[in-house]
Structure 1
Amino acid sequence: MLEVNALGWTLTIGVIVALLALDLTLGVLRPHAVGFREAAAWSVFYIAVAVVFGIVFGQIAGWDFGAQYFAGYIVEKSLSVDNLFVFVIIMTTFAVPEKYQQEVLTFGIIIALVLRVIFIALGATLLNAFSFMFLLFGLLLIFTAIQLFRHRDEDPDVEDNALVKASKRFLPVTDDYIGGKMITKVDGRRVVTPMFIVLIAIGSSDLLFALDSIPAVFGVTNEAFIVFVANAFALLGLRALFFLVKGLLDRLVYLSAGLSVILAFIGVKLILHWLHEDITKSAPEIPTSLSLIVIIGVLAVTTVASLMKSRKDPETKAHAGSLRAHDKERGR
């Protein structure tokens, strides 16, 4: 079992908060259109920070825990790319001006990180108290994988989001983005801007991704510290990664299918772990090293196959995938 003292937690959280503050400063206090060169530089920076942390962590804690960190980081990074699909859909749906997209992304990342901290604490508590939660988490991931694969050629319907619908129904909303504000006054009346609705949509989508990503990363490690840092470092680079790959996202046509395979694999891993711990010691367990190989292999095959498909058929567009079908004729 991994033991991290108060100093270790404090230093780690301090680094993450400092990076988050840097991201907040760049995205909110200095809103501007981000070019490819800037996005590439910051993406490399955040990935390098995550890799350096993993190397240092592996040397201090041991490479078994180091492998668990890298497996968790890769899982969360791949899921975060799917999250970017949804961010693109939300920003397109609400026509967010390019200069405010950084602000939306930064707040989206903060919301996602807060939700993940809550779910990590809850998940770790449940797993420590009830071993059958490994079975429930495994079944949840397999169900999610099946639904994602079935609806891999669809996108989430942002307008059908219950919180978005309620906000539009009960709150006065302006037609324009007024200086990027969320709440303002028009003719002496307090109103919300489309930016407020966008953040509602971002936050609710973050909630759904947290429900999937936390069981997924607990499938490769039981250590709450590793789950937290893997999620944190995977999320911190999202703002720059969005601007770097938003043109490439349309070409990752098999990403949803690949993610469904990874989620199903981790779901099986969790169920086997439950069987081994609670039912019979003869039940096989999937080692972290094999998990890392499978995850990297699936992502590599998915990426190469997607790029080949896009080159062969440029009209083919990728989709974020959905957990339920949508009536395409709705509203006609």
Structure 2
Amino acid sequence: MSVAAAVATDEHLAPAVVADPLAGNDPLAGADIVAGHRPTRRSTGTVTLSDVAKAAQVSPQTVSRTIRSPELVSEFTLERVRDAIAQTGYVPNLAASNLASNRSMTVAAIIPSVSASVFADSLHGLEEVLAPAGYQLFIGSTDYSPSHEEELVRAFLGRRPDGIFIVGTNHTPNTSHLLRESRVPVVEAWDFTDDPIDSLVGFSNREATAAIVEYVVSRGYTHPTFAGSLQSGDSRAMARKSSFESAVRRLLPGEPIRVVDSGTRKIDFDTGTDLLATTLAEHPETDVLMFASDIFALGALFECARRGIAVPSDLAITGFGDFDLARHVIPTLTTVSVPSRQIGTTAGGLLVGRMTHSPSDTTEIDLGFSVVGRDSA
């Protein structure tokens, strides 16, 4: 999926602009009243504000006022207009409102994958803050491709979002240039960098990986192998790999560095199964298999059950992300927990502040992480 629009609920129908319909600058009524002509559904093929007014037996100005400022009309009028909107299927002309206000009331969210629960959690957190403020989300999935991320950024900027939420801090030079020159608030997430585009909400993938390596070593494991999809587009996985190597050299001097890469395979359970098979074939001495993502770790756990491999006595397994399934599988998965939903709510708060108030300085927020020791290691 490249682009999807979130659907607004009834309480979010009000456009950002408050205009005077009697003065001729109401973006809602103006679309229906041009030089005294009131187009109807027959002439345009769409339901107009005038159609709603006729159904509600009120003036078009009253309908416009009810939509944009429901607190200014009586409960009786509010109910009649809402019933008429439901009856006619009227949708306010937000394009006209956007032109008048120079605001789109949308935020573009660019994530690596829509199937991963941790990124979905961040989107839910983002929407939790943006929706009450009247903003809608446009969502794009990069599938961990830097070039596709650049395409999405270009496409979204062409739709003039009021803000951008993007997972990751490593971008193509063109993407970074586009974001810096867009003049809209940008929040990068899920990592940390010394050179953010604008604001930053996340945690250190390097520190998190070092922490879980320290954990398994403290549990007595001495032959770790790191496994994941180490594509150039997934900078967070590459950072975890690099940190794993550094931690092994520091904590287990003389121990070989074992890394298994799935290449361009999909990030799914099946790839986790294959990573397990490769590890058993190439590094049979491994006593703890440390995955760059819970998705791979869960796939490996399922395969261990099929093969009769006892976890953790035969082979310990760890993940990264603390996905929903991690606490429900048997054995439960030892992993790194990251505040995925809080990343979304915090980023949403920063965006709303920047979009509704005067520009502020770049903000960098480190939400941290925690190692969750469970039964698998």
The question of a shared fold, defined as TM-score above 0.5 by the shorter chain, is answered with: no
TM-score, L = length of structure 2: 0.26
More strand by share: 2
> Looking at both structures, which has the greater relative contact order when contacts are Cα pairs under 8 Å and sequence separation is at least 6?
1
TM-score, L = length of structure 1: 0.29
